[in-house]
Amino acid sequence: MTATLTERYVHDTIRRLPPDARDDVRRELEASIADAVEARGNEGVSLAEAERLALEDLGDPAVLASGFADRPLALIGPRFFLLWWRILKVLLWSVPPVAGAGVAIGHAIAEEPVGTIIAGSIVVMISAIMHVFFWTTIVFAVLDRSGARIAARWTVDRLPEAPERQGGVADAIASGVVLMLVVTAVLWDYARGFAFLNGSWTSVLSAELWPWWIAGLFLVVLAEAVFVVVRARRGVWTVGLAVIRTAIAIVFVSWAASVIGRGLLLATEIVAAFQAVGVGADVMRILAILLIVGIAVTAVAAVVQAWRGVRRAG
């Protein structure tokens, strides 16, 4: 004998439930479907059509069974989703860049071609992103399925700072002081020198930086000073300010990488003094690479902060 649509629907639903709950759900479903079919029949709908419409209103048996079993169909439920998302963002902002920078430093120390350095870093970063997504999601899926509880309780201390309080006159003054110190130090080094070698003061920065490389640096400093003042007057981050912040960061990192990469940063006397105390060319190259990476990381952090400010302000 061919099973009816109702029998097939009920069977497909209860087979997904624990054995001790199947009989109760069967009775409840059959009664509910019978009432729905009867109600539609009273409206003049044929019995076969009324049965079909009633079952379609109940929806997918798998979804219905998950409701009876209190078993979510989502990989990560609402109890852990926000925590998963917060931790995932932190890991994605930290692990792949660190992995890529580590590979780039290793290739640079080994004097690999630029193409190899870039390709190797990109491959490692993509792999790190995939691993972060996979393992973080797996951990939280297991926690959600095991019924674990979230120990951390939300408090008002987690509230972000209001947009109008993010940056202001105090930050502008501090940044201005730092920029003035940078310019003063460069000029002092050129006129007087910071290193005392062989009985006289010697410039630390290479003379080859003057005038054009230093002029480029001073233009970047001037642009940063103007930006800081405008940022303080606006009070909040805007897309335009974030774009300017990004442009200044790119220009400065490019300047620093060009100067350090070409060996123009330190005066020949300073390099000779390092070599005299046993600091070889390999060590100098490693230090130069680490310096470039540090500058790049600082610039990226500033850019990220700017665009996060835009999102908060929005």
| pLDDT mean by block of 10 residues, the chain; 314 residues | 73 81 83 84 82 83 72 66 82 82 71 75 86 86 70 57 55 76 85 78 85 90 88 82 91 89 82 75 74 84 86 73
In sequence order, what DSSP letters do the residues of the chain get, joined into one string?
A: -PPPHHHHHHHHHHTTS-HHHHHHHHHHHHHHHHHHHHHHHHTT--HHHHHHHHHHHH--HHHHHHHHHT--SSSS-HHHHHHHHHHHHHHHHHHHHHHHHHHHHHHHHTT--HHHHHHHHHHHHHHHHHHHHHHHHHHHHHHHHTT--------GGGPPPPGGGSS-HHHHHHHHHHHHHHHHHHHHHHHT-SEEETTEEE-SB-GGGTTHHHHHHHHHHHHHHHHHHHHHHH-S--HHHHHHHHHHHHHHHHHHHHHHHTT-SB-HHHHHHHHHTT--HHHHHHHHHHHHHHHHHHHHHHHHHHHHHHHHH-
pLDDT at residue 150, rounded to an integer = 60
- Does the predicted TM-score (pTM) go above 0.85? no
pLDDT at residue 210, rounded to an integer = 87
Judge contact between 265 and 214, C-beta under 8 A. no
| Cα gap 209→215, rounded to integer Å | 9
Q: β-strands 200-202, 195-197: how paired?
A: antiparallel
pLDDT at residue 109, rounded to an integer = 65
For residue 114, what are the contacts with CB-CB under 8 A and spacing of at least 6? none
pLDDT at residue 1, rounded to an integer = 42
